[in-house]
Amino acid sequence: MKKKLVTEKEIIEFAKGGGRYFALAKNMVITPLAADRIKTLNIILTTEEEIKSKQEKNTVPFKKIAIGGDHTGFKVKQSLIKFLKEKGMEVNDIGTYNEEPADYPVFAAKAAKLVQKGEADGAILIDATGIPSAITANKFKGIRAVTCYNEFSARSAREHNNANILVVGGVTLGEGTIKGIIEIFLTTAFAGGRHQKRLEIITQIESENFRN
């Protein structure tokens, strides 16, 4: 079997892409420089079989989902509710309930409070761009609301940041793209490790600057 060298450059590119678990095949040989880089970047060597087994054992981070948004996200929200229920999620529709003009901060605040109190495992918010609802939700202590425009950002938000509210743009993104983002967000577990330390720094900042 022909050997394949795993180089330092390959490891750096893997890390830049948000990789954490590097699948090492039987025919792979790690160069000394690559081995050093693996240590400094806290990359975990594993196998495809181990990754698959871990994914199968992982519990889904979210079971109860609150979903809401303003009038610009109403049509998409209705489709997403069906999408989530088909996946076995318990869905709490917090509005809006029609296409009449509505204020996005109202629904973002509702979602944040439900997650904050533990009455929802996570939440999905839809407005025109995915930006203003995230700004609102992040005014609540313990909330990590993220605006995602692709599957990579959704995976990183969960794996690295343990985000608990996903915000998407109902006008800026197509429904298929939104569903793909949601699929990744709701099934990706927090990686912990070095990322936990950074979350603890965020928590400390919250404690110093939030009243409740």
pLDDT class of 106 with cuts at 50, 70, 90: very high
| pLDDT for position 195 | 87
Within 13 Å of residue 207, how many CA atoms lie on the same side as its CB? 6
CB 165 within 8 A of CB 172: no
Domains of the chain: 4-57 (no CATH), 64-187 (3.40.1400.10)
CB 90 within 8 A of CB 64: yes
Question: Which of 19 and 204 is assigned the larger pLDDT?
Answer: 204
CA atoms of 42 and 85, how far apart (whole Å) = 37
**Secondary structure of residue 136 in the 3-state scheme:** helix
pLDDT class of 60 with cuts at 50, 70, 90: low
What would the pLDDT profile of 62-98 be if each residue is shown by its tens digit?
Answer: 999 999 999 999 999 999 999 999 989 999 999 999 9
* Cα torsion through 148, 151, 157, 162, rounded to 10: 120
Asked if residue 121 has pLDDT above 80, the reply is yes
Give the pair of three-digit tokens for residue 201: 């720094």
> CA angle, 11 as apex, 8 and 13 as ends, to 5°?
110
Name the pTM for this structure: 0.73
Taking the alpha carbons of 89, 95, 96, 102 in that order, is the dihedral positive or negative? negative
Give the pair of three-digit tokens for residue 163: 């985000």
What distances in angstroms separate CA 87 from CA 62, 100, 102, 104, 148, one per listed residue? 11, 29, 29, 26, 21
Element (H, E) at 145: strand 145-147
195 catalytic? Reply is: no
Among the listed residues 160, 169, 186, 191, the single catalytic one is 160
pLDDT class of 18 with cuts at 50, 70, 90: low
